[in-house]
Structures are given as C-alpha cells and as structure tokens.
C-alpha cells in the first residue's frame, strides 16, 4: 500500500479522533473493494471507537470471512464482542488471533482483556504477561497488564505497570484514567477527579462522563451492600421492643448511629468531588441518570426515616425505610444495566 492509499488515510483520521471522516473514507474504498479484509477490519475498529458495536461486529464478521487467516481481524472481532458483553465468544475470537500469529503481542493482549472481562484473572494475567514479554516497551502491553491487575484487585501491581507505561508515553489517556480510578478505589477523591478532568480536557471529543460520576455511583454501590442490613437490624430491634422494652432505646440509638455514619461517609466522598460528578450526570445515558438520581433520592429518604425514628421512636419509620430497600436495589440493577465496559481501548 502507498502512503496515500485509503487505508492509511482512514487510519490517520481515526488516530485523530475523526471517526466519521474515517468511516466515510473506508466505505468509499470498500465500494470499490468490498472484500478487502484490512479495510473491513479497520472499519470495525472505527465503528467500535464510535460506540456502534453491532455494526462494528458485522464489519469484523465480514473481515474474518474475507480473510480468515488475518489475525488482526479476529483480534478486532474479539474487542467488539467484549463491548457487546459476549465474553465467551470474545475469548474464542482472541484465541484464534493468537493461533494465527503466536509471536504477535496484540493477540495475547486482546486475549488477556477478554479473559479478564470474563473474570478469569489468573489466565488473563498470564496472557498479559506473555504479551508484555513479546514487547517489553509496549505502552499497550503495560496498560493491559495494569488493567488486568486492577480487575484482579492487585492495585499495587496495576499502579506499577500504569506508571511504567506513562514513563514511556506521559500522554497515554488510558494510563492516566487507570491511575485516576485506582485513586478512586482508595477514596483519594480530589486527586482522582482532577485527573479525570484533565483526561477529559485533553480529549474533549470523547469525555468519559460516566467515570466522572464515580463518587455518586460508588457511594450508592457501597450503601446497597450494607445499608439494607443496617435498616433491617434497626427494624428488627424496633419489633423486638414490643415485648422487650430495652430494645426500643437500642434500636433508636442504632438508627441515629447508622444515619450519622451514612451521612458522614457521603460527605467524605461528595464534598471533595465538588460539582463535577453532578454536572457529568446530566450527560450520561438517560437510564443511568434516572437510576442514579433515583437511588440517591431513595437513600436520602431512608436517612430521613432513620433520623425521624431516632428522634420520635415511631416504629413505622424503620418499617418504611425497610420497604425502600427493594427500591434501592432495583435502581442499582438498572444502573448496572446502563453502563458498559470502559471505552478507552
């Protein structure tokens, strides 16, 4: 291929983030060469970066049909399958890429991401480390290792690999995002939000607004795990007070304690985050936004009910708070359904 051929022009446009122009270039070229597997693979990549995952998969299916021995086509098909949450199929496709090009690091890295997406972290770490051994100075390999280690809960190893990648390419957006999310998991709220804001500022065409809402969504996720048990304990103590009077005072004290702990934790997370998560929440998909706001409102109501019970002793308050728990869980299920794997790759 020459330096001015459609593939190179489209690749350059895609690297600049001009996905619509790259797609137009590719479709024009494919009108003349509809069976070009390289063009079809690149079209799948461009469409995936544009979040049109089903169309991207169709392009990759056509690419693997046109060039069944093209490892890149199978690797890109695996990426599309991961985006569609078809992890098992993604592992098969990535495995085919590795079989066709066993000494190319790209296939091993895609396989590592597919295995990690399926929760098979030991295998994912082995695949990622093997890919890195084939390209020790590869930023993509180091960041794949970092992403897999983070998913496996090995934060120190993830941070080490991400920093090694950033030492090679300080502008690598995914590496900076990974460090920001590692800070988030350690509740370094202000630093995490500043880093995410900087990543978005440097790539305004693709701001990761979902990640920047993490303080609100992580708070709700934590509360869904234990707040229900706390409310149940208060309600049970309130019921026990009908035949054992000392339980009444204990249940009111528990209600006050739990309400104070939740309020304090919320302030600990939300105050350093500032207004940015709430501003970004307006930009996320509507289902995710409604679920997050609904969950926030439900928690607020539950806190008010616990506080009211602590002050008045009326047993209907903890019962109403307990009745709100399924509502909170429902909003959580809707929120999880409204998010996709991160689009940094």
Tell me the pLDDT tens digit for each residue of 220-243. Answer: 998 888 888 888 888 888 777 777
Tell me the pLDDT tens digit for each residue of 44-88. Answer: 999 998 889 999 999 999 999 999 999 999 999 999 999 999 999
pLDDT value for 313: 86
Output the average pLDDT for the chain.
90
pLDDT value for 338: 63
pTM (2 decimals)?
Answer: 0.82
pLDDT value for 132: 97
Q: Are 177 and 199 in contact (CB under 8 A)?
A: yes
Residues with Cβ within 8 Å of residue 259, at least 6 apart in sequence = 303, 306, 307, 310
**CA-wise closest residue to 339 among 278, 277, 282, 291:** 291
Residues with Cβ within 8 Å of residue 116, at least 6 apart in sequence = 124, 128, 147, 148, 151, 152
Q: Are 22 and 48 in contact (CB under 8 A)?
A: no
As a whole number of angstroms, the distance between CA 324 and CA 328 comes to 6
**CA-wise closest residue to 277 among 179, 186, 200, 166:** 200
Residues with Cβ within 8 Å of residue 72, at least 6 apart in sequence = 38, 41, 97, 106
pLDDT value for 4: 57
The 3-state DSSP class for residue 168 equals helix
Which residue stretches of the chain have pLDDT < 50?
Answer: 1-3, 341-345
pLDDT value for 205: 64
């Amino acid at each position: 291929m020459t330096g001015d051929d459609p593939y190179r022009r489209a690749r350059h446009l895609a690297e600049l983030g001009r996905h619509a122009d790259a797609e137009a270039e590719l479709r024009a070229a494919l009108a003349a060469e509809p069976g070009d597997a390289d063009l079809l693979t690149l079209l799948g990549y461009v469409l995936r970066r544009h979040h049109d995952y089903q169309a991207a998969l169709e392009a990759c299916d056509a690419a693997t049909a046109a060039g069944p021995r093209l490892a890149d086509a199978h690797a890109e098909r695996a990426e599309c399958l991961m985006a569609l949450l078809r992890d098992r199929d993604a592992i098969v496709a990535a495995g085919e890429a590795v079989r066709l090009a066993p000494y190319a690091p790209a296939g091993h890295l895609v396989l590592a991401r597919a295995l990690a997406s399926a929760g098979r972290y030991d295998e994912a770490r082995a695949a990622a480390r093997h890919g890195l051994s084939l390209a020790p100075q590869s930023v993509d390999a180091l960041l794949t290792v970092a992403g897999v280690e983070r998913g496996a809960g090995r934060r120190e190893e993830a941070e080490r690999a991400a920093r090694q990648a950033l030492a090679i390419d300080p502008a690598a957006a995914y590496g900076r995002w990974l460090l920001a999310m590692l800070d988030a998991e350690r509740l370094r709220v202000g630093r995490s939000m500043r880093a995410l804001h900087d990543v978005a500022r440097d790539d305004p065409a693709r701001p990761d607004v979902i990640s920047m809402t993490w303080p609100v969504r992580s708070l709700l996720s934590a509360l869904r795990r234990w707040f229900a048990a706390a409310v149940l304990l208060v309600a049970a103590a309130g019921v026990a007070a009908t035949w054992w009077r000392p339980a009444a005072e204990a249940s009111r004290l528990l209600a006050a304690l739990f309400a104070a702990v939740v309020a304090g934790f919320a302030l600990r997370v939300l105050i350093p985050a500032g207004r940015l998560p709430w501003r970004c929440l307006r930009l996320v998909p509507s289902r995710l936004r409604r679920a997050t706001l609904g969950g926030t409102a439900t928690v607020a109501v539950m806190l008010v009910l616990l506080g009211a019970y602590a002050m008045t002793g009326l047993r209907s308050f903890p019962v109403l708070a307990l009745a709100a728990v399924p509502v909170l869980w429902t909003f959580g299920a809707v929120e999880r359904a409204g998010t996709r794997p991160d689009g940094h790759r």
